[in-house]
Chain A
Amino acid sequence: MKPVKIAILSLTHGHTRKYFQVLSENPNLEWVAVSAESEAVKENFYTYGYTQIPCYLSDEEMLDAHPEIEAVVIASANVRHLQQVKMCAQRGIHILSMKIPTFDMDEYQEMIEVVEKAGVVCQVELEMHYNPVISRMKELLRQNALGNVVGFNATNITLSPVFAFPWQGQPEMSYGKRIPLREGDARFRGGALCDHPHIFDMIRWLTGSDFDYVYAEVGPNIRDIEEEDIILVNGKMKNGISFLLDPSWSRHEEKVPTPIDWDFFPKRMEVNINISGDKGVLLSDCFGPNLWHNGKPKDRYRVQYVYFDEWIGLIDEFVGCIRNGGTPKINLRWHKKTIEVMNACYESVRTGQPVYIK
């Protein structure tokens, strides 16, 4: 297969670093360039050692200088995505979007239209689909190992990235607007919920059903930030499955400006999915088991994750769709319902009651 010439835009998303290794090592990719949001971001990029990759301070300048670029990873704050998607689609460049294309549903529809009109591939980065534990779970469900599924409880809990990636702590940059959580609450939309679409997507994927209604409740914040960091969601799917989803930033972190050595006991991230069926129960840890040590840098107990890197499978699908003309399984149209239900969660927080999904 002819390698896809690829670039990364902005370099400010928390997942940016995940792409450095995969873009370097995947034989089906040729990493051409990156653009950085600022001089500071550019300087930080070069600390990772990829000094052979040209780094520009403007997306347009990079794309003008490298007309050979066929695809990009849009690794920016959520608020920038629409403009970058339009710019790339107009140039016929394929797009790997971050997990939140936008929370504005008018913008979302505009993205769908510009992408489809341009005929480019647009894959949404929901890397759990390339997790081997998820693959096993899907197989067990296909084999009817649990009987009829009746309950689905999942965590997608992490530390908060706001100290290393400040845009995630700014409601306008994360949610796209400054909308209070509810009357009398000083916090705004844009926090932990916005960072954790995976379990909202995965329940749809694994159960083959869509959301009927959701109820969401925010707790007191762990941190002094403007957005919610503790939030619980429950409700029912259209096929009657009851669910509980916990997308909180309920793990602690070192409040450092770079995402290095920021882990704090017990661990920085967890996706656990428990499924109940009428024939039994399944418990799963999608990122476990792991290794543990108490060595550098702080001589205290911490996790060394050993899981398979989901970004390998994700990029393989992206490249395959570009070269073979396919549609990624996680495309803008599939993902739209997930974004809609996340907005419904915020609406439930505002009203204090369950919200039905149209």
Chain B
Amino acid sequence: MSYMGNALQGLLDKYDVAFDANALQTPLQQWRCNRRFAELHKLVDGNTIENVCLLRFSHMTDGKTPLSDTLYREFDLCEFIGHGKITSLNAVFTNGRTGNVIVKLDNGVIGSVEVGNLLPSGKSDLERHEIVARRGVANDLPMDVQIPLQSIYTYTEDGEAGYRDVDFELYGFGEEEISEIRAEFEFCKNPSAKADHEAQDQHLKAVVAAAFESDKDHKKVAL
């Protein structure tokens, strides 16, 4: 069993949940299990911030990640955090490496999704997810800070390093790995969610395709 598979099995054993092989074959939109996004979702869901007007999302990667993958994830986060479905968009890209999309949700919320894969090879992703509402704003970056923060910074003779450990049960795993393991674990607890995940997957693929169509035709696309 793989390193991550062992971790999943550890959670299954601890909480007495049966493994379901579909967890490894279903598109799970695993970022929804990232605590940052779960908490942003809750801030809206619980009316801590009320009447959302605007989402301002940005996600830059190095060249290994295709724009379509980043768009898929960020569109899903728009819908997850914005509590609506994308109904129209206008996209502009340059050289298939950078660009942005203005989206509108069925609840009237609009959002900007900035994407790019022009960071130097091996550089950690740079992300920002901000919600602007009639009552309140929320952001996964603090005020005046342009790049993601770490929990620990070290400055040693070996150079500088940062550490962000966010899950005690899954200590040692990276943030994306933790999301994946947690998503698989949640699926095993609730295998009936398979149809919802697959439907969302089909929907998101259509939204991503619409973004490239919008860029190509220089037109807003209604979904």
Chain A residues packing against B (C-beta within 8 Å): 150-151, 153, 155, 213, 215, 217-223, 230, 232-236, 240-244, 246, 248, 250-252, 265-267, 272, 274, 276-278, 280-281, 283-285, 288-290, 292, 303, 352-354
Contacts and interface: CB of A to CB of B under 8 A. Distances in A.
List the 9 closest pairs (A to B, CB-CB), nearest first. Answer: A151-B98, A266-B143, A219-B110, A244-B100, A242-B92, A150-B94, A276-B98, A215-B90, A242-B94
A153 B114 contact: yes
B133 to A, nearest CB: 8
Interface in B191-223: 218-220
B119 A280 contact: yes
B134 A222 contact: yes
B27 interface: no
Contacts of A213: 218
A108 to B, nearest CB: 27
B102 interface: yes
B139 interface: yes
A276 B67 CA distance: 14
Interface in B88-128: 90-95, 97-102, 104, 108-112, 114, 116, 118-120, 126
A354 B94 contact: no
29 contacts: A150-B118, A151-B100, A151-B116, A215-B220, A217-B90, A217-B104, A220-B108, A230-B110, A233-B102, A234-B90, A234-B102, A235-B92, A236-B92, A241-B94, A242-B92, A243-B92, A243-B100, A246-B112, A248-B54, A250-B54, A252-B136, A272-B146, A276-B60, A276-B98, A276-B116, A278-B95, A281-B116, A292-B143, A303-B144
Given A151-B94, A221-B53, A354-B219, A232 B116 contact: no
B100 A153 contact: yes
B132 interface: yes
Contacts of B190: none
B119 A222 contact: no
B58 interface: yes
Interface in B149-204: none
A240 B96 CA distance: 12
A173 B211 CA distance: 38
A288 B100 contact: no
Contacts of A272: 146
B144 A290 contact: yes
A281 B61 CA distance: 10
B17 interface: no
Interface residues of B, number: 43
Nearest to B51: A220
B159 to A, nearest CB: 20
A274 B90 contact: no
Given A220-B51, A240-B94, A280-B118, A232 B112 contact: yes
B147 interface: yes
A218 B112 CA distance: 11
A106 B156 CA distance: 64
Contacts of B93: 242
B128 to A, nearest CB: 10
Contacts of A289: 144
Contact of B112 (A220, A244, A265, A277): A244
Nearest to B134: A222
B90 to A, nearest CB: 4
A220 B111 CA distance: 11
B137 interface: yes
B56 interface: yes
A290 B146 CA distance: 13
B112 A283 contact: no
Contact of B109 (A219, A277, A281): A219
A246 B139 CA distance: 16
Contacts of A241: 94
A2 to B, nearest CB: 42
Contact of B53 (A220, A236, A278): A220
Contacts of B143: 265-267, 292, 303
Given A153-B100, A285-B144, A220 B109 contact: yes
Given A150-B94, A219-B109, A354-B218, 14 more contacts: A221-B53, A222-B132, A234-B91, A241-B94, A242-B94, A243-B100, A244-B100, A250-B53, A274-B58, A278-B118, A281-B116, A284-B146, A285-B144, A290-B144
Contacts of B132: 222, 230, 248, 250
A236 B92 CA distance: 7
Most chain B beta-carbon contacts within 10 A, residue among A232, A267, A274, A281: A232
A27 to B, nearest CB: 34
Contacts of A267: 143-144
